[in-house]
Amino acid sequence: MTYAVAGMVTTREFIVMAAWHLFERDALRGRFLNGGEDEQFAILEEILRLDPVAAMLHRRAAEETQLAAAGPIAAGSVVAIDIRAANTDEAVTGPCPHMIDPDRARRMKVLGSYMSFGDGNHRCPGAQVAMHETRVFLDRLLRVPGIRLERAPEMRWFDELMSYELRNAKVVCDRS
């Protein structure tokens, strides 16, 4: 994935996904708006953990290794990593892995957004920028009096990119 695609498309899709979650969940939206930066980041990281824009990573094994789920992996082999499965592994996330729980990372002592931005040498170099951009934008947007989601986005899936695209959401502002 190029920096242009990763830096613009994935951030755009995540902003829409996070807005969708926050518009449709009043309690989560309230917690986001009433929380400080750390609380807002925790909420966004949970949304990204459950709905990563890219669903798969492909990596080459640097050395022979053994994976519990896949068995032996020879050095040089390409391994496909299912980000959604990794991000909802109860051994890593704790109980209720398919639920948004902003306290999860603190409780489980996990930093960051699990595998949603990759890991190690291949971790997305723009991860912090994307999260800050999303946090600032949504904090401002959701504070507009009368703002609401009139039409949820339509989701389209791209097998070749193992990624989603959200389109045609409609946000309106009822200023009374």
* Tens-digit pLDDT profile for residues 136-169: 999 999 999 999 999 999 999 988 778 889 999 9
Structure confidence at residue 40 (pLDDT): 98
Whether residue 74 is contained in a domain is answered as: no
Decide which of 155 and 69 is more confident. Answer: 155
Whether residue 61 is contained in a domain is answered as: no
Backbone region of residue 151 per phi and psi (left: phi > 0; alpha: psi in -120 to 50; beta: other values): beta
Instruction: Provide the domain count of the chain.
Output: 1
CA gap 41, 112 in Å, rounded: 9
SS3 for 53? Answer: coil
**pLDDT of 93 over the 70 cut:** yes
Q: How far is CA 49 from CA 46, 75, 86, 121, 124, in A?
A: 5, 29, 9, 19, 15
Whether residue 64 is contained in a domain is answered as: no
Could you tell me the residue range of the domain that residue 138 belongs to? Answer: 3-55+85-173
Q: What angle do CA 158, 116, 69 make, to 5 degrees?
A: 90
Structure confidence at residue 110 (pLDDT): 65
- Closest Cα to residue 147, out of 119, 174, 127, 122? 174
139 CB neighbour count, 10 Å cutoff:
14
Q: Is the pTM of this model over 0.85?
A: yes
* Amino acid occupying residue 172: V
Whether residue 50 is contained in a domain is answered as: yes
Whether residue 45 is contained in a domain is answered as: yes
Whether residue 89 is contained in a domain is answered as: yes
Decide which of 135 and 70 is more confident. Answer: 135
Whether residue 107 is contained in a domain is answered as: yes
Is-contact 11 130, C-beta < 8 A?
yes
Q: Read off the CATH number of the domain in which 147 is found.
A: 1.10.630.10
Whether residue 44 is contained in a domain is answered as: yes
**pLDDT of 113 over the 60 cut:** no
